[in-house]
Amino acid sequence: MTTSRRRFLKLSAGGLVGLGVGGISLNAVAAEQVDPENPQAKALQYVHKSAKEGQHCANCMLVQGNAGDVWRPCGIFPGKLVNSEGWCAAWAKKPA
Ligand code: SF4
């Protein structure tokens, strides 16, 4: 095996390991849903299922991420995901 081929294989393996670790950490972050029992969530009366007619996370101006996803990031709860059908006291209508 030539030195350059060995070096290439070593770099490739390193790249794959890096991607794997990155993938795992992204999944870990994405899987973290807001716990309604969390003190901040409680203070904002967050629930996974809105009881307010016409008000839910999917039509709140603070929700982020992709329309249609059930769990989405929210500007009020950094690093957490809220349910599209959820609600909290910070709800504000998304501009049309
Ligand atoms: S601010 Fe409240 S209502 Fe709006 S998306 Fe975030 S959790 Fe849902």
CA quadruple 83, 85, 87, 91: dihedral, nearest 10: 100
Helices (H), the chain: 3-30, 39-43
In this prediction, residue 4 carries a pLDDT of 58
In this prediction, residue 96 carries a pLDDT of 85
Above 70 in pLDDT, residue 92? yes
**Ligand 1 centroid – CA 25 distance (Å):** 24
Task: Read off φ and ψ for residue 2, nearest 5 degrees.
Answer: -80, 160
Q: In angstroms, how far apart are the furthest CA atoms of the chain?
A: 69
In the chain, the amino acid numbered 31 is A
78/62 Cα distance (integer angstroms): 11
The pick from 34, 49, 74 for probing ligand 1's pocket by mutation, whose C-beta has the most ligand atoms within 8 angstroms, reads 74
Provide the residue count of the chain. 96
Query: In this predicted model, what pLDDT tens digit does every residue of 15-72 receive, in sequence order?
Result: 444 444 444 444 444 569 999 999 999 999 999 999 999 999 999 999 999 999 999 9
In this prediction, residue 31 carries a pLDDT of 60
**What's the CATH number for 33-96?**
4.10.490.10
In this prediction, residue 22 carries a pLDDT of 46
Name the pTM for this structure: 0.71
